[in-house]
Amino acid sequence: MLKRTLYCGEISEDHLGKEVSLCGWVHRVRNHGGVVFVDLRDREGIVQCVVEERINPEAYELADSLRSEYVVAIRGTVRRRPQGTENPRLKTGNFEVVIDRIELLNSSEALPFPVDEETPVSEEIKLNHRYLDLRRESMRENILFRHKAYQVIRRVFLRHGFVEVETPFLTKSTPEGARDFLVPSRLHPGKFYALPQSPQLFKQILMVAGFDRYFQIVKCLRDEDLRADRQPEFTQVDFELSFVDEEDVIAFSEELICDLFKELLGLELKRPFDRLSYGEVMERYGSDKPDRRFGLELIDLSHVFKDTQFRVFREALENNGAVKAINFKGSNLSRKEIDELTQFVQTLGAKGLAWIKVEADGKLNSPIVKFFTERETKELLKTMDAKAGDVLFFSADSKDMVYKILGNLRLHIGKKYGLIDQSKFDLLWVVDFPLVEWDEEEKRFVSLHHPFTSPREEDIPLIEEALKVESLEEKKKLLHSVRARAYDLVINGYEVGGGSIRIHRRDLQELIFKLLEIGKVEAEEKFGFLLRALQFGAPPHGGLAFGLDRLIAIMRGLDSIRDVIAFPKTQKGICPLTGAPDYVEPKQLKDVHIKVVE
């Protein structure tokens, strides 16, 4: 067999006149009668190979019989293409390989879909034949890009003295957080391991153990429903440092992100990244992960309607809710377009969508202005800076609902009407998260981040006070102002990283468990190992984890993380390639003491 001397995509000026041997896949064959062009492809790119019948009849005949995705080795001589026949779309487009010999290494069936960028192919078919999909240039580049990212990331960590440590995959199920994937134990009937949602507790233990700086590029598993940016198994760039505060973690994170953007995209990001508080981003964007590449900010109207007779607005304000609006400036939306947006917000649980359109003559076209006083209307238009052609959309409801409706509507409009500058990267730290929020379903407070996140020192008395008061409203009020020492990195409206300074004192950790109504017995049972560790000289520590899949997808301008994962799952959590999940043999079930009930 001919042995490769270089990759197809590497052919350049340097190889002119030299004999080369290439191994790869037949991308395309063009036979012009007497001369055949074979585009040969490998992971580095494509190069055109050529053979003429009258010069090399044997190779010509074989070349003529080649079909897409046949595997061949080709020996030949590199030459400059005849003038006027260069192909600027190929990296190797100024050169071609004059075929001396072709070895057919394997043939291929007719393809289920073309290995090119032109034809859109359904996700199902692509994943079914992922090996073919991955041969496509864009997918190959996504995977190679990701590979390069690993290298940059490791280099940055090593530069800063981080130690790479692996943590267990067979671990313990913990309450709080996402649903666990469970693994039945054969040796311990009725007991289960859980696959880790993240190495959170292990990395904290490593800090207690004195490793000082830890990192790991690691799979995390959560048994929750999928989204374009969520897979049941995904990769975190996880790290933790001792003897640090927020600023250290943030500064290091920025360096890591900057190095990635610089080395992989050639972009110099401006440092420090912007920071906004959780409260501010919720007020302005209705989201804790805002995309700031376009406007349409939420504007508060409670002062305008504080005494309004319009029932919908009045009730919202009376019930401690909010009245807010966004102004889609100069959009001149038609009634049909407004109806479409109304339908959209209804899928989010809105009853309807109040709107005002400012017509060209300045008249207001709206189903609701008739309920406003003259003063309200005037102040409203002023607050919203409403001009001819503008369309205003309102939401009046509980604060959570207003944020949800207008935040999602804002994004929907931004995408639908092309308001987003796709060439930009918007990097933002969201800080000052509340430590906990009330969970109406569970009727208790739950961590916004996770139960190991430290509250601000000065806010701890508020927690103690809240635990003493009886009234729930009073509790909520007190706890609302307890801030977590947490920080999220948001890029283009995606949460790509999150972390916090952790609790390193047992008494404080116990206080938080108490706040979260995790009883002493349960805390001991589930987190006893952590509590004990905190008693034996736990250093102050904190860290962060980046969602690598999301980060790579954003850097590559992709909408779905499936495109940066070699073997992703479909929305129903199925791997079409292997057919997982699947039934197993009764013997296997018996071994692990599992009986399946319908």
Site for RNA in 458-517 (CB under 7 A): none
Tell me the sheet residues that pair with 495.
490
Pick the closer one to RNA by CB: 32 or 270: 32
DSSP SS3 for 368? coil
From start to end of 432-547, where are the E strands? 436-439, 444-447, 486-491, 494-501, 541-547
| Cα four-point dihedral sign 77, 82, 84, 85 | negative
Per CB under 7 A, the segment of 172-180, 209-217, 426-434, 522-530 that binds RNA is 172-180
Name the DSSP letter for residue 15.
G
Pick the closer one to RNA by CB: 223 or 259: 223
Which of 77, 171, 185, 570 is the binder for RNA (CB under 7 A)?
570
Does 240 participate in binding RNA (rule CB under 7 A)?
Answer: no
Residues 435-454 that bind RNA (CB under 7 A): 441, 446-451
Per CB under 7 A, the segment of 12-20, 52-60, 304-312, 391-399 that binds RNA is 52-60
Helix or strand run (H / E) with residue 402: helix 399-416
DSSP SS3 for 94? coil
Residues 385-404 that bind RNA (CB under 7 A): 404
Q: Which of 449, 457, 452 is nearest to 497 (CA)?
A: 449
Q: Which of 9, 6, 26 is nearest to 75 (CA)?
A: 6
Distance of CA 23 to the CA centre of its chain: 36
Residues 199-218 that bind RNA (CB under 7 A): 200
Per CB under 7 A, the segment of 145-153, 475-483, 528-536, 557-565 that binds RNA is 557-565
Does 33 participate in binding RNA (rule CB under 7 A)?
Answer: yes
Distance CA 291, CA 297 (A): 10
Does 56 participate in binding RNA (rule CB under 7 A)?
Answer: no
Pick the closer one to RNA by CB: 87 or 302: 87
Does 289 participate in binding RNA (rule CB under 7 A)?
Answer: no
Does 408 participate in binding RNA (rule CB under 7 A)?
Answer: yes
Residues 119-138 that bind RNA (CB under 7 A): 119-125
Does 107 participate in binding RNA (rule CB under 7 A)?
Answer: no
Helix or strand run (H / E) with residue 278: helix 278-285
Question: In angstroms, what is the minimal distance from the CB of 440 to RNA?
Answer: 8
Question: In angstroms, what is the minimal distance from the CB of 503 to RNA?
Answer: 13
Other residues' Cβ atoms within 10 Å of the Cβ of residue 516: 20
Question: In angstroms, what is the minimal distance from the CB of 92 to RNA?
Answer: 9
CB 237, CB 545: distance < 8 Å: yes
Please report, as a single letter, which amino acid is at residue 153.
Answer: I
**175 phi/psi in degrees, rounded to 5:** -70, 175
Question: In angstroms, what is the minimal distance from the CB of 330 to RNA?
Answer: 26
**C-alpha triplet 168, 171, 176: angle, nearest 5°:** 125
Which of 4, 7, 12, 53 is the binder for RNA (CB under 7 A)?
53
Q: Which of 142, 139, 137 is nearest to 45 (CA)?
A: 137
Which of 2, 35, 143, 419 is the binder for RNA (CB under 7 A)?
35
Question: In angstroms, what is the minimal distance from the CB of 109 to RNA?
Answer: 9
Question: In angstroms, what is the minimal distance from the CB of 314 to RNA?
Answer: 26
Pick the closer one to RNA by CB: 113 or 145: 113
Contacts of 159 (CB under 8 A, 6+ apart): none
Question: In angstroms, what is the minimal distance from the CB of 310 to RNA?
Answer: 26
